[in-house]
Structure formats: C-alpha cells, structure tokens
C-alpha cells in the first residue's frame, strides 16, 4: 500500500524553520543550536568552524527543500 506524503506541508515547515548553530563540541561530537537542542556531529566535520557548519546545514536544507519540491511536481 502506497502512502501519500504531504510534501507541501513538509516544505512549508522546512522553509519556516532555520537552524542556527551556536557551538561545536568536538570532544562529544555534537553541535548545539540556538533552540538549545544538540545534534550529532558527523565524522569529518569536527574541524569546521561554527560559520562553516552553518553554511553546510543551510545548503543541505535548501537541497532537501528542492528535492521535495521536485517530488511534489512529479506526483502532481
């Protein structure tokens, strides 16, 4: 059974939410955002500055939004 995904709602939520990195903890391999949440830091990213990590997260967010928009177009 194929489940329909509400891509419009996901896109809308992602466009409204902006993750802002405030610190990186290389010892515990975590980064913290301005909302107080901590997220795992992927191997290989521990040498990045806060600004560089923020750039990567912003690009990943935009790429994900674009993929979802393409899915929405393809599914009519």
Rounded mean pLDDT, 46-71: 94
CA distance 24 to 41: 8
Closest CA relative to residue 21, chosen from 1, 41, 4: 41
| Whole-number percent of the chain with pLDDT over 70 | 91
| Mean pLDDT confidence for 17-30 | 95
CA distance 70 to 76: 10
Distance of CA 45 to the CA centre of its chain: 15
Question: pTM score, two decimals?
Answer: 0.80
Specify the higher pLDDT residue, 2 or 1: 2
pLDDT at 3: 64
């Amino acid at each position: 059974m194929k489940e329909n995904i509400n891509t419009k709602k996901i896109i809308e939520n992602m466009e409204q939410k902006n993750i802002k990195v405030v610190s990186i903890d290389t010892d515990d391999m975590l980064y913290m955002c301005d909302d107080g949440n901590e997220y795992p830091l992927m191997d290989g990213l521990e040498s990045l500055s806060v600004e560089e990590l923020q750039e990567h997260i912003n690009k990943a967010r935009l790429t994900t939004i674009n993929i979802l928009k393409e899915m929405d177009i393809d599914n009519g």
